[in-house]
Amino acid sequence: MFKYTLDNKRYHTLNYYFKKKYGKKTFKVSLNGNFSCPNKINGKGCIFCSRLGSGDFAGNKEQDLITQFNEVKEIMEKKWPDSYYIGYFQANTNTFAPLPILKEKYESILALPNVIGLNIATRSDTITPECYDYLEELNKRTNLIVELGLQSIHEKTLKFINRGHDLKNFEEAVKELQKRNIEIVVHIINGLPGETKEDMLETIKYLNNLHIDGIKIHMLHIIEDTDLADYYKEHPFHILTKEEYIDIVVNELELLDPKIVIHRITGDPKKEDLIAPEWLLKKFCVLNDIDKEMVRRNTYQGRLLEK
């Protein structure tokens, strides 16, 4: 059995990471802190981003953070009464506010019973020097992870998707966070227009060399009311089939250091908003087929790194 799993997966699962680090069932509670995004204020935002911003399954921004958190916790407690929780600031850009506001929101969740840490999703271009210092202080007293959206290392792709920052800016943020011993999870997207399989694998190789702590692998999906939807209708492009996606993901896993935690390995769109691909709606089928393909190839995370 692969070393970093508790359920016969052949990659480093988040369940394994939580169990080994915290000793019992641990849940991330997705929250909407009603943050905005500089890329939307200064422009139209990333072309794939929905009207709700990243994190469509985060909490309801009309509710306060404590209410959002408790609604999820009450559901989880019915099945796992003795659990730990991590506040996951997911929607939009969660460092894009003055420091006093960040502190108020973060600290309100950390003060709740059985909350043992925070995951903060953000962009590399919205962490101020003062925020870095505060994150460093937070990291000394709780379990902190900062999630950075990257999507691709290729500048042509970053420009096409209107990412709003370049690779150098991302590298600088990684350097600052690692200097403070803060764990980093990076988001990437497979299937972006114009990218080949080799382009996607180059992104993985680059991140592997950066020694990040975790990764979220997404499949590009087109949803209503986005610039990408408008582009797709006018300029239809190839969307990865399920088989193509699985092949690429397995190759990516083979290239990743086995110590890197796989926080996500597929997309998770809302059915009512999805234009394509429809196969992505069957999330567990995709996950199962990835497992089956790894067994069929007799492979595992990090295999291609072995000498």
Q: What is the mean pLDDT of residues 220-229?
A: 92
Highest mean pLDDT among 47-61, 81-95, 245-259: 245-259
Q: What is the mean pLDDT of residues 136-151?
A: 97
Q: Extract the tokens encoding 179.
A: 């200097």
Q: Is 170 left (phi over 0), alpha (psi -120 to 50) or beta?
A: alpha
How would residue 40 be classed by pLDDT, with cut points 50, 70 and 90? confident
Q: What is the mean pLDDT of the chain?
A: 92
pLDDT of residue 42: 63
Specify the pTM.
0.94
Task: Inform me whether the pLDDT recorded for 55 exceeds 60.
Answer: no
Q: What is the mean pLDDT of residues 247-269?
A: 95
How would residue 8 be classed by pLDDT, with cut points 50, 70 and 90? confident
CA 307 to chain centre: 30
Residue closest to 87 by CA, chosen among 136, 129, 30, 32: 30
Domains of the chain: 14-299 (3.80.30.30)
Contacts with 139 (C-beta within 8 Å, 6 or more apart), sequence order: 180, 181, 182
For residues 222 and 200, give the distance between their C-alpha atoms in angstroms, rounded to a whole number.
18
For residues 307 and 296, give the distance between their C-alpha atoms in angstroms, rounded to a whole number.
22
pLDDT of residue 52: 56
Determine what percent of the chain is predicted with pLDDT higher than 70: 96
How would residue 58 be classed by pLDDT, with cut points 50, 70 and 90? low
Task: Inform me whether the pLDDT recorded for 267 exceeds 90.
Answer: no
Sign of the Cα torsion 219, 58, 7, 201 reads: positive
CA–CA distances in Å: residue 117 to residues 75, 157, 179, 182, 185: 19, 34, 20, 12, 15
For residues 100 and 75, give the distance between their C-alpha atoms in angstroms, rounded to a whole number.
31
116 or 267: which leads in pLDDT: 116
H or E element at residue 218:
strand 214-219
Q: Give φ, ψ of 86 to 5 degrees.
A: -125, 125
Residue for token digits 């960040």? 102
237 or 2: which leads in pLDDT: 237
Length of the chain: 307
Q: Locate all alpha helices (DSSP H) within the chain, ordered by sequence.
A: 14-22, 38-41, 65-79, 99-110, 129-139, 155-160, 167-179, 197-210, 227-234, 242-255, 283-297
Task: Inform me whether the pLDDT recorded for 297 exceeds 70.
Answer: yes
CA 160 to chain centre: 20
- With 0-12 / 13-18 / 19 or more C-beta atoms within 10 angstroms meaning exposed / middle / buried, residue 195 is buried
- With 0-12 / 13-18 / 19 or more C-beta atoms within 10 angstroms meaning exposed / middle / buried, residue 20 is exposed
Highest mean pLDDT among 66-75, 180-189, 219-228: 180-189
Residue closest to 20 by CA, chosen among 259, 287, 282: 259
pLDDT of residue 163: 85
Sign of the Cα torsion 162, 106, 73, 288 reads: positive
Q: HSE on the CB side for 75, CA within 13 Å?
A: 8
